[in-house]
Copies of this chain bind each other. A is one copy, B any other.
């Protein structure tokens, strides 16, 4: 990669690149799973993890023996990416077919959260992000449970967002073809709650 380019610079379709924190944080806040990239012995690993943003950091967690968590805690270079697919862009030509999406690519390093109070707060924030409202109703974590979890704070040094939205952009000579063009919106649907088979009688969801 040419040294003159910054690692978080959007090079293709520069008009789709965004660097302001508001845009980046909005995209991060709308996701629940990020893809965490680290390198071990020259081999890249990309692992899906649950996360929550706090300020300019992401909270990640896992089992204490997790290979990934142990690597992260060492402070190695990390890249974390979050992507939302928003639409299938159907053009008059196959060449101009595309996807509408929003993504954030963030670079930085992680450090372990060891302090028990900080760990409890981080885990509660994670639960609340993944399942809003649940820290109000579910049993809180015990110290033993918090101790049995590895938590790291991934601190973002630099990041960029990339966004494509809107209709297809066809070549002028294709505009009069008899081919339907437009966008199939794609979204994430949360369905009807399915009670656990062993749910205590009389309990209803919310």
Contacts and interface: CB of A to CB of B under 8 A. Distances in A.
Contacts of A43: 7, 39, 77, 79, 107
A135 B140 CA distance: 53
A44 B47 contact: no
- Chain A binding surface SS class: mixed
Is the interface on chain A under 10, 10 to 19, 20 to 34, or 35 or more residues?
35 or more
Nearest to A70: B1
Q: Which of A33, A79, A167, A180 has the most CB of B within 10 A?
A: A180
B175 A198 contact: yes
A185 B196 contact: no
Contacts of A83: 33, 35, 48
A92 B180 contact: no
Interface stretch (A15-23, A52-60, A61-69, A110-118): A61-69
